Amino acid sequence: MTFRAPVRDLAFALKTVGHPELVKRAFPDLDEDTVQAVLEAAGAFADNELAPLNRVGDQQGAKYANGAVTAAPGFAAAYKAFAEQGWNSLAAEPEFGGQGLPKAMELAVFEMTHAANMAFGLCPMLTQAAIEALTLHGTERQKTLVLPKLVSGEWTGAMVLTEPQAGTDLGALTARAEPDGEGGYRLYGQKIFITWGDHDATDNIIHLVLARTPEAPPGVKGISLFLTSKYELKDDGSLGGRNDFRPGSIEHKLGIHGSPTCVMLYEGAKAELVGELGQGLAHMFVMMNAARLQVGVQGVAIAERAFQQALAFSLERKQGRAVWSSENPAPIWGHPDVRRMLMLSKAKIEAARGICLTTGVLADLARLAETEEERAAAKARQELLTPIAKAWSTDIGVEVASTGVQVHGGMGFIEETGAAQHYRDARIAPIYEGTNGVQAADLVGRKVRSNGGETMRGLCAEMALTAQVLSDAEGLAPVGRRLAAGVAALDQATEWLLSVDNAAALAASVPYLKLAGDVIGGWILGRQALAAAGSDDPWMQSKGALARLYAAQVLSGAPGLSEGMAEGWSELEQVTAEALAG
């Protein structure tokens, strides 16, 4: 099936999310024509260059041999074109060669990239995260020699955290950074699950590595961040000999076969400190949070790709008599449950897209809003939404990809149709960059409970105002009623979280995140329905239909989620593994 980048959906979403009046002040030269031109050009590249490589990437994948990784067929040439056309530099600072566009624009372009070819998109995605980390914490040498090459896409970046004995628990990592006596360091150790840690698509790869110095204390306070280059960096910016690190192998994975996931071996690699000693985890969180938002966008993207294929199949596949078709046999689109699955999938995609783009808008406002008060408020809401954007959106990605297989029926279970690839590719997103359980723990612990719930209360108050407007809008009163009930349920759940101990809050964290995502998603759809109200364009009219369906099928469950959060957690502590095993 031919992929079509969702340019119109993205353009509409960018107009209806966030704070358009504040964004206009931050980016006064950005007009709708420019946004449309960027999206159309990016969409054409995704359609014509990346989507055709998605299947070959899955079937043939990246290869490892003789201590080196070769990208999947066609990927290296596509990456070169991606960089040459400027897609790598959209939101980077102009002083480093970037275009200075809004973060939300970058996310929109990367959604199309990931939807066309998720395995490919992982390479420039992590480069974006490295750019953000070095922009904030890099030394002058690193900003001068490394940042422009990453921004241009001439080099790529890799995030190097995980070790075999220390997955999410970074405090347990053992990689060593030993001073070399010349102001630099030598890195020793093994890292695993390093996405695009080695490849042949660029001349050089920059690794940002967490490691310990000899005198560092145990735990997270002993971790520092280091930059090491595949080829040694000379003071004039030219490349020297091969550095002392290499891939030991690549993983054989369920999906994203075109993305090389490397075991990396550091055998005395020359490195330099990024930021301050002992602050490595704080510095790396800049990169991690950037990647988490991008992974949320991946969830939206793979859902969009799976939905498009399922919708096309439903219009082509003829089977039985249908309620809404006079043909016999009729396209399965005419069967109510197939149409329900597809419309609900579309609604959830638009909700997740809106959450991710809103978070991107807030990231810009946290830096560029005119007043300190506006910047602080944007920063607080951005931090609140980041774990929701990552976790809720990637759960939606898996759900919609699974629904896509279901729409195909038995054909979906057959690899040749391609629906199974989307499901396999989607499954990694809830796992990496911090599992969705970790995101939920972060949401309740650091983002809600740490400031007494004030940021969430403020968001709920804003959503309640939208519910009132919806209740008075023609044809949207049911959405307003359901959204108001959902906001009340989220408010209730937030107050409960603030009243219980840490164990109970953590036990309820995943249902709480789902509740928050469900309600915020309904708010996004309600705002889109209001923006489309009164139009006689069938595409615009569908926004109201999607909001009403989502309200009936998803928002209606919010009160039950909230009530259930307060019950049953004592059983988690009391029931033993032996009892469950029988």
Distances (CA, A) of 316 to 1, 128, 423: 11, 39, 21
Same domain for 35 and 71, yes or no, is: yes
Domain boundary among the residues 279, 312, 339 is at 279
- Tell me if 292 is assigned to some domain: no
Both 83 and 51 in one domain: the answer is: yes
Within a domain: residue 244? yes
Rounded Cα gap, residues 466 and 460, in angstroms = 10
**101, 120, 149: which is the final residue of a domain?**
149
172 and 137 within one domain? no
CA distance 106 to 30: 13
C-alpha Rg value of the chain to the nearest Å: 24
**Cis peptide preceding 329, ω within 30 of 0:** yes
Q: What are the residues whose beta carbons fall under 8 Å from the beta carbon of 285, sequence distance 6 or more?
A: none
CA-angle at 408, arms to 404 and 412, nearest 5°: 85
CATH at 169: 2.40.110.20
Per-residue tokens: 155: 């080099």
Residue tagged 């108001």 (tokens): 484
Planar angle of CA 479, 385, 26, nearest 5 degrees: 100
Note the pLDDT of residue 1: 58
pLDDT score of 527 = 97
- CB < 8 Å & 24+ apart, contacts of 324-332: 332/407
Q: Which of 101, 134, 149 is the last residue of a domain?
A: 149
Residues 18 and 106 in one domain: yes
Model pLDDT, residue 569: 78
**Other beta carbons less than 10 A from residue 258's beta carbon:** 28
Of the listed 49, 132, 350, 433, which one is catalytic?
A: 433
Ranges of H-type helices in 317-414? 336-368, 372-408
With respect to residue 384, please indicate whether it lies within any of the assigned structural domains: no
- With the C-alpha atoms ordered 421, 303, 344, 42, is the resulting torsion angle positive or negative? negative
Residues 112 and 189 in one domain: no
- Indicate whether 493 belongs to any domain: yes
In angstroms, the CA 389 to CA 296 distance is 5
Of 153, 152, 172, 154, the C-alpha closest to 162 is 172
pLDDT at residue 332, as a whole number: 96
The answer to whether position 320 is within a domain reads no
Residues 117, 234, single domain; the answer is no
CA 553, 556, 562, 565 dihedral sign is negative
Paired sense of beta strands 261-274 and 245-250, if any: antiparallel
**According to the model, what pLDDT value does residue 450 have?**
86
- Residue range of the domain that includes 233: 155-279
* Distances 416 to 1, 70, 187, 305 between C-alpha atoms, Å: 11, 25, 45, 16
Q: What is the end-to-end Cα distance of the chain in Å, rounded?
A: 47
Q: Identify whether residues 109 and 205 lie together within a single domain.
A: no
* Helix, strand, coil share of the chain (percent; to 5): 60, 15, 25
Q: Are 226 and 146 spatial neighbours (Cβ–Cβ below 8 Å)?
A: no
**CB-count burial class (<10 Å; 0-12, 13-18, 19+) for 214:** exposed
Instruction: Kindly state the helix (H) or strand (E) to which residue 261 belongs, with its residue range.
Output: strand 261-274
- DSSP assignment, residue 348? H
Q: Is 399 part of any domain?
A: no
What is the pLDDT tens value at each position of the chain, 582 positions in all? 579 999 999 999 999 987 777 788 889 888 889 999 999 999 999 999 999 999 999 999 999 999 999 999 999 999 999 999 999 999 999 999 999 999 999 999 999 999 999 999 999 999 999 999 999 999 999 999 999 999 999 999 999 999 999 888 888 899 999 999 999 999 999 999 999 999 999 999 999 999 999 999 999 899 999 999 999 999 999 999 999 999 999 999 999 999 999 999 999 999 999 999 999 999 988 999 999 999 999 999 999 999 999 999 999 999 999 898 888 899 999 999 999 999 999 999 999 999 999 999 999 999 999 999 999 999 999 999 999 999 999 999 999 999 999 999 999 999 999 999 999 999 999 999 999 999 999 999 999 998 899 999 999 999 999 999 999 999 999 999 999 999 999 999 999 999 999 999 999 999 999 999 999 999 999 999 999 999 999 999 999 999 999 999 999 999 999 999 888 677 888 899 999 998
Asked whether residue 77 falls in the same domain as residue 177, the answer is: no
Taking each helix axis from N to C terminus, what angle separates 118-137 and 51-60, rounded to the nearest 10 degrees?
A: 100
Same domain for 140 and 274, yes or no, is no
Both tokens of residue 367? 């830096």
Whether 62 maps to a domain, the answer reads yes
Residue in the structure block whose two tokens are 């055709």: 52
Query: Are residue 18 and residue 114 in the same domain, yes or no?
Result: yes
Asked whether residue 163 is domain-assigned, the answer is yes
Q: Residue 324: what pLDDT?
A: 84
Active site residue 350: no
Strands 204-212 and 155-160: parallel
Q: Is the domain of 145 the same as that of 160?
A: no
**Same domain, yes or no, for 186 and 139?**
no
- Total domains in the chain come to 3
Alpha carbons 289 and 110: distance in angstroms, whole number? 16
Distance CA 517, CA 523 (A): 10
What is the reported pLDDT for 390? 98
Residue 23 has what pLDDT?
80
CATH number reported for the structural domain that contains residue 34 in this entry? 1.10.540.10
pTM of the model as a whole: 0.97
